[in-house]
A = this chain, B = another copy of it.
């Protein structure tokens, strides 16, 4: 089954050539621009975009000044056509791709055809096809779209046939009138925090190309953050939606596991893991888009298509004044100045807006080290190291993130059956400790960091412990972009923090609720986002 290195390089070259061929010539950027787009240039892709006029003013307006909800309102009444919206996002995604490499599969042609059909449907029927009518939606590479590949950046997967069926959620999107146009990049092995693999290369951060995009929904976060997509579908088992969202300055939401259908993705991990529960969820450019996506998908009763999906109907909850727990992180994992500043400013703004802020301390025995300890042990359950096998099968070069992952795994003793018991017992204790914090303070949501820092220089993100906690507890959690790193203000010296390197990177807050309270977290995310946006607009 192993293939020699020369062979894999040829396969990669072929795949990349195919990918580039999917970008129409008229959307190709001038070499003067693309020559600036590389990992060592601390430039913003937004600034590079300003150097081209491939996008018309109307296309810039549609992609920059509307969220998905606003676009859908226009699409549903025919005020704008699906074709013009789709073309705008295809073009912007094409530009994004040439600037920071977020895409894996590109199928703009199919998308434009589909958009025409949807426009014809609206004209003919006098009503939209469904709640996603005419809207382009991007997908993490793991999702299956009939006729498209899903290689996950594994060289060994390059020879797999294209998908014969859609993932159940992809069917729901299509039934609802969505337009699919591209799939997006992931880290090698999907368990690391840098959007790079041997097949598709490195995805860079649109806000500063020297920074990483996090993982594992790396390309989704970057594409949506650049507004090359109005709505993206990712997955999150340890921060994989929230990390790429916060580093690229967009919104992201990890629901309670299996509230959004997760089934039917490309296989990349041994079947039957008795460890963490993964979630599917959205990347977006507004809090209300997160809400819209989840409400719409859940209302489509995915549990009839996916045997693991939970038959829990959507529940509408009203906006209200919130009681917000405020956790500034654990001493053992200090939060870096820009994120801490954003977090404190957010608490201040929210309090001024009439919400109650309740300080919450780290529960005893349930801080970041214990989270990491429990989480990492569950990764060790795969004594067959399936993940590494995909790489070894193709004699792939192991990239830095995956080397770190392998070293982390090498440090833990070989797992036994007793370790699974210990994992379940430790997780239950961890859960009780945090449950007590939530119930004693009687909070609606917890405001906290999603990471120590912002997006970090390539391969330097570190472990996403502040995201992983909520996977370990299966709690719904969103990230909201708020403010940016500023080297003139964020000057405190902390190990691992380089204020110059991250200057200008988006900062964020994380909003967390107890398990199954997805609707409440989404409502709170909207309420919090409204207050923070009002502050940001006033203080531009």
Q: Which residues of B contact A415 (CB under 8 A)?
A: 417
* This protein's copies in its complex: 2
Binds B, one of A1-9, A17-25, A198-206, A510-518: A510-518
Binds B, one of A53-61, A97-105, A175-183, A305-313: A305-313
Q: Are B516 and A312 in contact (CB under 8 A)?
A: yes
Q: Chain B's nearest CB lies how many Å from the CB of A244? A: 28
Bound complex: CA A426 to CA B417 (Å):
17
Bound complex: CA A424 to CA B426 (Å):
20
Q: Which residues of B contact A305 (CB under 8 A)?
A: 439
Binds B, one of A29-37, A141-149, A266-274, A489-497: A266-274
Query: Which of A310, A415, A416, A421 has its CB near the most chain B CB atoms (within 10 A)?
Result: A421
Q: Are A272 and B424 in contact (CB under 8 A)?
A: yes
Given A311-B514, A515-B310, A272:B422 Cβ within 8 A? yes
Q: Are A431 and B517 in contact (CB under 8 A)?
A: no
Bound complex: CA A1 to CA B274 (Å):
34
Bound complex: CA A417 to CA B418 (Å):
8
Q: Are B421 and A274 in contact (CB under 8 A)?
A: yes
Q: Are A272 and B423 in contact (CB under 8 A)?
A: yes
Q: Are B439 and A383 in contact (CB under 8 A)?
A: no
Q: Which residues of B contact A420 (CB under 8 A)?
A: 272, 274, 381, 417, 420
Q: Chain B's nearest CB lies how many Å from the CB of A373? A: 15
Query: Which of A303, A416, A423, A426 has its CB near the most chain B CB atoms (within 10 A)?
Result: A303
Given A271-B428, A425-B272, A435:B307 Cβ within 8 A? yes
Q: Are B311 and A425 in contact (CB under 8 A)?
A: no
Q: Which residues of B contact A418 (CB under 8 A)?
A: 383
Q: Kindly supply a per-residue 1/0 record for chain A positions 431-463, scoring 1 wherever the CB is within 8 Å of any chain B CB and 0 otherwise.
A: 110111001000000000000000000000000
Q: Which of A123-173 contact B (CB under 8 A)?
A: none
Interface size class of A (residues with CB under 8 A): 35 or more
Q: Chain B's nearest CB lies how many Å from the CB of A195? A: 29
Bound complex: CA A271 to CA B429 (Å):
10
Q: Are B271 and A308 in contact (CB under 8 A)?
A: no
Task: Across the interface, name the chain B residue whose C-beta is closest to A421.
Answer: B272
Q: Are B514 and A303 in contact (CB under 8 A)?
A: yes
Q: Are B428 and A272 in contact (CB under 8 A)?
A: yes
Task: Across the interface, name the chain B residue whose C-beta is closest to A315.
Answer: B313
Q: Chain B's nearest CB lies how many Å from the CB of A339? A: 28
Q: Which residues of B contact A403 (CB under 8 A)?
A: none
Q: Which residues of B contact A382 (CB under 8 A)?
A: 421
Query: Which of A382, A420, A432 has its CB near the most chain B CB atoms (within 10 A)?
Result: A420
Q: Which of A310-335 contact B (CB under 8 A)?
A: 310-313, 315
Bound complex: CA A436 to CA B432 (Å):
36
Task: Across the interface, name the chain B residue whose C-beta is closest to A270.
Answer: B421
Q: Which of A389-431 contact B (CB under 8 A)?
A: 415-426, 428, 431
Query: Which of B311, B419, B428, B517 is close to A417, meaning CB atoms less than 8 Å apart?
Result: B419
Q: Are A428 and B308 in contact (CB under 8 A)?
A: yes
Given A312-B516, A416-B417, A417-B383, A273:B424 Cβ within 8 A? yes
A304 is an interface residue with CB less than 8 A from chain B = yes
Q: Which residues of B contact A431 (CB under 8 A)?
A: 307-308
Query: Which of B304, B424, B514 is close to A439, meaning CB atoms less than 8 Å apart?
Result: B304
Q: Which residues of B contact A516 (CB under 8 A)?
A: 303, 310-312
Q: Are B381 and A421 in contact (CB under 8 A)?
A: yes
Task: Across the interface, name the chain B residue whose C-beta is closest to A432.
Answer: B307
Q: Chain B's nearest CB lies how many Å from the CB of A272? A: 3
Q: Are B515 and A311 in contact (CB under 8 A)?
A: yes
Q: Chain B's nearest CB lies how many Å from the CB of A477? A: 15
Bound complex: CA A383 to CA B514 (Å):
34
Subset of 30 A-B contacts with CB under 8 Å: A271-B421, A271-B424, A271-B428, A272-B420, A272-B424, A272-B425, A272-B426, A274-B274, A274-B423, A303-B514, A303-B516, A307-B428, A307-B432, A307-B435, A307-B436, A308-B428, A308-B431, A310-B515, A310-B516, A311-B515, A312-B312, A313-B315, A381-B420, A382-B421, A383-B417, A416-B416, A417-B417, A417-B419, A417-B420, A420-B420
Additional A-B contact list (4), CB under 8 Å, known A274-B421, A303-B514, A312-B312: A271-B428, A311-B514, A313-B315, A415-B417
